[in-house]
A and B are shown apart, each in its own frame.
Chain A
C-alpha cells in the first residue's frame, strides 16, 4: 500500500516541477549562469577575456529577436528574418555613401516592406505564417545572392566611424527598453499575448486582430532593418551569405530564453534577453572548446529539443499559426 502511494506521488511531483512557472522563469537564468561558469572553467578563463568579442556578436541577434518575440507572442512564426537582414544590409550599404541617417531609414523601410509582404500573405491570404515566411526566406535569399554573389556590396568607409560600443549598445538598449515598456506596460503587450492565447475571443473583445497581426509583421521587419545597420557598421559590407541562418539563431535564442513556442499568456520579455545571451555564450563557448561545426550543430540541436520540450505550453495546444 505504502509502495503504491509513493509510486503515485513521484510522477505528480515531477509533473508539477516541469509545469511550474518557477521552473519556466528560473531555468534559463540558471542555465545562463551555469553555461558562463562551465565554459570559463573549460576554456581556463579565455572566454571572459574575449568578452568584448562575444558582446559584439550579440547586438544583431538581440535586436532582431525582439521583433520575432512579438510575432511569437501572438502565436506566429517568422523564418524570413535572415533574408530581411540581408536585403536591409544591402540597402544600408548602398545608401551609406549618400547619408548615414538615410541609410538607417532605408534599412528600416526595406525591412518593414518585406515584413508587410509577409503580413499581407499571412493575414489577407490566410496562409500559415511559417509557410509564408519560409517562402519569403527563399525568395529574398535569391535576391541577395543575385546582388552580392559576384562581389560583396561594400558600404561607404564612413560606417566605421559608427563602429563603437556606445553606438551599437546604445541602439540595442533603445530597442530593448522601448519594446519592454510597450510589451509590459501598454495594451500592446496584453493584446499580443491574448491573440496568442485565443484569437477569436480577442476579436470579440474589440481588438482589430487582423490589422494588429499585419502591423506586427511589419514591425518585426523594421526592427530587423535596424539590426541591419548595426550589422553593416560591424562588418562594412554585405556578402551573399549576409544574415544566413539568423532566423534559426533567433528561434533557438528565444526558446532557450524560456519562450513557449505557441506564444500566449506565459510569454515574458525576459525571454528575449536571457535567451539571446545564453545562445551567444553557448555558441562561443563551443567554438572556443575547438569543436567542429558538425559537433556544435549536434549539441545545439539536442539542447534546443530539450528546451522546446520543457517549455512547450501544453495547456495551450493550438497549432502554431
Chain B
C-alpha cells in the first residue's frame, strides 16, 4: 500500500464556479510562490483518491498502482491503494469504506466486470466518481474506462507467433491456449484477436484451457494436458504472464521445449532476458504504468469539470526478439514500472 503526499491539490469543484475559484487560487499561488510547479504539493486537506485493486500480489496491478501514485501525487492528490485480495466481499467493503470516508474519487481495477457494476452503482449513489482501470465494467456509469487494446495486442502477438511457426515450417501444427476467464471482457478480446491472427495464417487452434485459480500447478497441469492430448501441438499461448514459469516447466518436463513455442500476453521482468534468449517467442505487453497515469488523469479532468473520453484503449506492445531492444526503455517504464520514481 502506497500512501503519497502530494502538493496542495486544487479543490476539485464542478462547473464554471469551480474553474473560476481554481483560477483565482492559482493566481494567488503564483503571487506567493515563485515555484508554481510545486504549488500543488500539500498534505492535510488534499483531495483524496482511493485505488481499489483486485490483487496487488499480481505484478500488473502493482505496476498500475505505481502509475496511479505517481500521477496522483504529481497532481496533488492524496492517494491510497487498497487490496481487494481478489475477494468480492473485501472489494465491496473497501468501496463502502471509501464511500463512508467521502473520498473525492475512486479508481477501481475490479475483480471482474460484473462486480464493477455494483461498485460503480454504490459509488454513484454517494456521488463519488469512479474510473475503471482495466478488467471492464458491466455498467457505463463510470467516468472513464481505461483499458488496453487487448484484441489488437493479441492479434499482434498472434501474428508474431504465426511468423515464428512459419519460419519453422510448423504451420501445420496446432496451437493450444491457456486462457484467463472468458467471462472477463479482456479475456474475450484477447482470444478473439489471437484467433484472428491464427485464422489469417491458416493455423488451427487445438484446445483451450481456462484458468481458475491462476496457480502454478494449474498452468503446469493445463500445459501438460495440451502437450499430451494434442500430438501436433506446436505452440502454447498464455493469456497471462504471471505463470509463464509453470508452462516452461511443463515443456521441460515433457521434453517439448524445442518442439513447442511459447508466447504470452503481458510481461514479467524476466522477459527482458527470456525473449532475446528465444525461450519465449514473444509477449503482448500491456502498459499498466501508463494505464495508472491515464486513470488519474481522467479522474482529475472529471473533477476539474473537463470532458473525459469515457473509453480509452491503450496500445499493447507486441514484443519479440526482433523489437525488444528498440522498446526496452518503454517496456521498463510503462510495462514494468521499473524506472519510475515517485
Q: Does B bind A?
A: no
Q: Which residues of A contact B (CB under 8 A)?
A: none
